[in-house]
Structure 1
Amino acid sequence: MLAVAAAVLLLSLASVSCSVPLACEDLLQPLGQPHLRGLEGRRTMVAGSISHLPFMELLRSRDSATAEFSNNGDESSIFFRRSGRSNGNCYYASYNVTLEGSSFTLDDHNITTTFVHTSCHDCILLKFDVESGKRQHFYLFSKRRQLEEMEIEEFRAQAKCLNIPPPVVMDPTKELCPEQHTTNQKEDKTEGESSSVCG
């Protein structure tokens, strides 16, 4: 009987130790190619993290940020627009991007963007790998300004799996930038360089 109990204990410990990396694999699982209709619309950043600490400080000072996807009539490409508000000023950028499975690339900035799985029903979770992964930006956008604590906790766990700083949770009372739909928009340079994305 003692031998059976010991065997059960060893098996349970083995399963726990094996589940730790699997949990991160599950948490960071890329989506399949998203449906354009499901992407469409404007969402507000509710939380974000950046691997580069000086940019994290700039993110902390950000009032708000948005991301918007809209159909451009092509089945494989979409418009991606972003805005950010800091110190009362709004910054905009717009891109025409082509979906490649769960990713798209911002060629002019050497940024690969991946849609990551999230259990939040109205969220889009984006991981930006800048300069072949030298820097990572990780942002959770939602149609709601404030999420349930469980949804934020999931995002915190995902950021931890990426070994990046604990996320900044945005203040839902801060004003958003007005929507702007022209393609000739001012680049956001508040994070130290023009290739910063959404933060």
Structure 2
Amino acid sequence: MFLAVGAMALLCLMSVSHSAPLGCEHLLRPLHQLDPRPLEGRWALVAGSLSHLPYLDRFKQRDSAAVNFSSNTSDTNISYSRSIRLDNKCLYRSYNISLEGSSFTYDGTDNLTANFVHSSCQDCLLMRMDVESGKRQHLYLFSRRREVEQEEMEEFRAQVECLNMPPPVVMDAHKELCPGAQTEEKLEGQKD
């Protein structure tokens, strides 16, 4: 009799635990192994949060941003370039990064650790960065789309909250992204 009551109580607790909101450990779990091939291409910044308030204020000023990943024929070394539209100007920066599991490092930089975090969004990329041994944290949500569904944004807000960071800044999906860096170089040549 006690065994039956105990089993019934356990079943009830299990059903309650499955319907409970996801815990922070689950929300922030890193990807185990990243395949770089689906990573390739352009990703628009949808939202982001930074723990360092002066940087967050600067982050809020950008009109749009995107990243582009391209493989160098290696599964562990890839190129990463970012474009930021700020004050109607496009700023570009390129990096070489080394992938290891869900983590990556910028070549030549030892004060930044970064990893890719799980997201329920199928065409999203969630990047978590710790700068200067965790003194500053950044969490960025990228997608192949300019906007994500409300549930996907709520998940991102919960992930930001788990890190005790300020509420995310959501990019205006109607503001233009910068053209690819190659296109911009061509445009600059035409201006002369």
* TM-score in terms of structure 1 length: 0.79
Deviations 1:42-81 (A, max 9, x none): 0100010000111111111210011111111112111111
Shift of 1:109: 6.1
Paired amino acid for 2:154: E
* Cα distance in 2, alignment partners of residues 43 and 75 from structure 1: 19
Who is 1:85 aligned against?
A: 85
Give the AA of the match of 1:74: S
1:40 aligns to 2:54 (yes or no): no
For 1:77 and 1:181, locate their aligned partners in 2 and report how far apart those are by CA, in whole Å: 21
Share of identical aligned residues, percent?
55
- Gap regions ≥5 residues in structure 2: 184-192
- Higher mean Cα deviation, 129-138 or 100-109? 100-109
The 8 Å contact of residues 47 and 140 in structure 1, kept in 2 or not, is answered as yes
Size of the aligned set, in residue pairs, is: 173
Give the secondary structure class of the aligned counterpart of 2:90. Answer: strand
- Report the secondary structure of 1:160's partner residue: helix
Structure 1 counterpart of 2:133: 132
Moved over 4 A (4+): none
State the match for 1:118 in structure 2.
Answer: 119
Deviation at 1:103, TM superposition (A): 0.7
Q: CA RMSD in A?
A: 2.4
1:28, 1:138 → 2: CA distance? 10
TM-score norm. by structure 2 comes to 0.82
Equivalent runs, 1:51-62 vs 2, <5 Å: 51-62=51-62
Question: How far off is 1:108 after superposition?
Answer: 2.7
Unpaired segments of 5 or more residues in structure 1? Answer: 183-199
